[in-house]
């Protein structure tokens, strides 16, 4: 009896021990598998990150395929499609660059064509000017008052044409080269007065008065030729965009660092959304007012003032009779 009990117990113990060994082996295997899965996942994440940073040659390896076949296939095909897209983008980029180059070439051809044309136009226009002067000086016989009046009109339009052609040519010249300033110690009040006097006949035609104030009497370092071009452009704009029979105020003042030349006209304003375009090359609203304009005046003026280390600022507001536009040329005192 005892003998058979001991036998049963021994068998039970052996069975238990055997089960334990099998269980612990299974547990070990499971743990290994888990570790393997974890490492494989880590590897896949590493591949994804490597692709994210631009290494498009990276792929999920064969080992990972054995552990996560579906995931590995998806990741690899995702990388393939990224590579395809990258190639497509590169192709588009090449295409785009070629198109940009072609456009640049066309633009250059257009600019050269306009520059040559403008230059060639200048000759007959100047010849016409000389001929008109001869006629007005009675070199071809005495003229009646009506004939003279007609010729004076012709001379004015001829003058406008000369100015237009000159401004276009000047722009091409300045486009090709950097603006080279010849700065001198100039009497800015005198420069302003001389320019205003030159502009007076044009203002008189529209019955616009030009007023000038100054609170600054020192000299400044600037290129007088270029500065006069800026002032002429700004005053001409002020006259052109003024209400008839109004006025243009021109003031000179300063603070510790800068001088400020303020040119104000009344009537038309520049809309806030248009302000950012007025210095662009060829931006003009002149045609709206049945005037001739190249849209180069402010573009050139801005470049000249910047070459001096300054800037042009604009304030334009109000409506109807209260409306005003002020262009301020800010120039460093030195």
Ligand X SMILES: Nc1ncnc2c1ncn2[C@@H]1O[C@H](COP(=O)(O)OP(=O)(O)OP(=O)(O)O)[C@@H](O)[C@H]1O
Between the alpha carbon of residue 292 and those of residues 148, 266, 283, the distances in Å are: 24, 20, 12
CA angle 85, 88, 90 (to 5 degrees): 110
**Residue 283 binds ligand X (CB under 6 A):** yes
Binding mask 238-257 for ligand X (x = CB under 6 A): x--x----------------
**SS3 assignment, position 264:** strand
- What is d(CA 143, CA 137) in angstroms, rounded to the nearest whole number? 9
**SS3 assignment, position 279:** coil
Q: Candidates 11-19, 88-96, 115-123, 265-273 — which segment interacts with ligand X by CB under 6 A? A: 265-273
Cβ nearer to Mg ion, comparing 295 with 310: 295
Between the alpha carbon of residue 34 and those of residues 38, 60, 315, the distances in Å are: 6, 19, 73
Say if strands 311-317 and 324-332 run parallel, antiparallel, or are unpaired. antiparallel
Listed in order, strand segments (DSSP E) in 101-222 are 184-186, 209-214, 220-222
Residue 308 phi, psi dihedral angles, 5° rounding: -85, 0
**Residue 265 binds Mg ion (CB under 5 A):** no
Cβ nearer to ligand X, comparing 74 with 321: 321
**SS3 assignment, position 239:** helix
Q: Candidates 44-52, 142-150, 201-209, 293-301 — which segment interacts with ligand X by CB under 6 A? A: 293-301
Number of chain residues interacting with Mg ion (CB under 5 A): 2
Q: Which of 125, 135, 286, 323 binds ligand X (CB under 6 A)?
A: 286
> Smallest distance, Å, CB 233 to ligand X?
6
220: which strand partners? 186
286 binds, among ligand X, Mg ion, none (CB under 5 to 8 A by kind): ligand X
Cβ nearer to ligand X, comparing 226 with 241: 241
* Touching Mg ion, residues 178-237 (CB under 5 A): 237
Q: Which of 161, 298, 312, 331 binds ligand X (CB under 6 A)?
A: 298
Select from 99, 108, 113, 100 the least CA-distant residue to 176.
108
**The residue to which tokens 């198109």 are assigned:** 99
- Using only the alpha carbons of the chain, give its radius of gyration: 41
> Smallest distance, Å, CB 255 to ligand X?
24
- What is d(CA 178, CA 161) in angstroms, rounded to the nearest whole number? 26
**Residue 293 binds ligand X (CB under 6 A):** yes
**Residue 270 binds ligand X (CB under 6 A):** yes
Q: Candidates 121-129, 202-210, 282-290, 304-312 — which segment interacts with ligand X by CB under 6 A? A: 282-290
Cβ nearer to ligand X, comparing 144 with 322: 322
Q: Candidates 3-11, 104-112, 188-196, 235-243 — which segment interacts with ligand X by CB under 6 A? A: 235-243
Select from 285, 203, 282 the least CA-distant residue to 244.
203
**Residue 312 binds ligand X (CB under 6 A):** no
> Smallest distance, Å, CB 297 to ligand X?
2
- What is d(CA 11, CA 20) in angstroms, rounded to the nearest whole number? 14
Q: Which of 297, 302, 324, 328 binds Mg ion (CB under 5 A)?
A: 297
266 binds, among ligand X, Mg ion, none (CB under 5 to 8 A by kind): none
- What is d(CA 220, CA 210) in angstroms, rounded to the nearest whole number? 23
Q: Note the residues at the interface with ligand X (CB under 6 A).
A: 167, 233, 237-238, 241, 265, 268, 270, 278, 283-286, 293-299, 325, 327
Q: Rule CB under 5 A: which residues touch Mg ion? A: 237, 297
């Amino acid at each position: 009896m005892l003998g058979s009990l001991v036998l049963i117990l021994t068998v039970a113990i052996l069975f238990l021990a055997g089960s334990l060994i099998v269980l612990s082996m299974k547990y070990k295997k499971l743990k290994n598998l888990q570790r393997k899965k974890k490492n494989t996942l880590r590897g896949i994440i590493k591949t994804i990150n490597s692709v994210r940073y631009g290494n498009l040659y990276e792929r999920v390896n064969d080992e990972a395929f054995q552990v996560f076949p579906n995931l590995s296939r998806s990741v690899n095909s995702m990388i393939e499609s990224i590579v395809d897209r990258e190639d497509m983008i590169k192709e588009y980029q090449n295409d785009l660059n070629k198109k940009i180059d072609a456009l640049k070439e066309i633009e250059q051809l257009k600019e050269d064509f306009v520059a040559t044309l403008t230059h060639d136009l200048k000759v007959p226009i100047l010849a016409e000017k000389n001929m008109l002067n001869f006629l007005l000086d009675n070199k071809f016989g005495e003229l009646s008052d009506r004939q003279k009046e007609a010729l004076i009109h012709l001379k004015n339009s001829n003058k406008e044409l000369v100015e237009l052609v000159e401004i276009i040519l000047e722009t091409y010249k300045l486009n090709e080269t950097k603006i080279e300033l010849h700065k001198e110690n100039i009497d800015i009040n005198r420069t302003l007065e001389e320019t205003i006097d030159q502009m007076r006949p044009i203002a008189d035609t529209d019955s616009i008065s030009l007023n000038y104030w100054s609170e600054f009497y020192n000299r400044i370092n600037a290129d007088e030729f270029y500065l006069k071009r800026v002032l002429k452009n700004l005053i001409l704009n002020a006259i052109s965009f003024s209400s008839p029979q109004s006025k243009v105020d021109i003031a000179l003042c300063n603070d510790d660092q800068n001088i400020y030349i303020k040119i104000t006209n009344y009537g038309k304003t520049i809309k806030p959304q248009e302000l950012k375009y007025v210095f662009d090359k060829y931006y003009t609203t002149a045609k709206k007012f049945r005037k001739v304009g190249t849209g180069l005046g402010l573009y050139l003026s801005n470049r000249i003032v910047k070459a001096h280390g300054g800037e042009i600022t604009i304030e334009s507001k109000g409506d109807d009779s209260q409306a005003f536009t002020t262009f301020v040329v800010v120039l460093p005192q030195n």
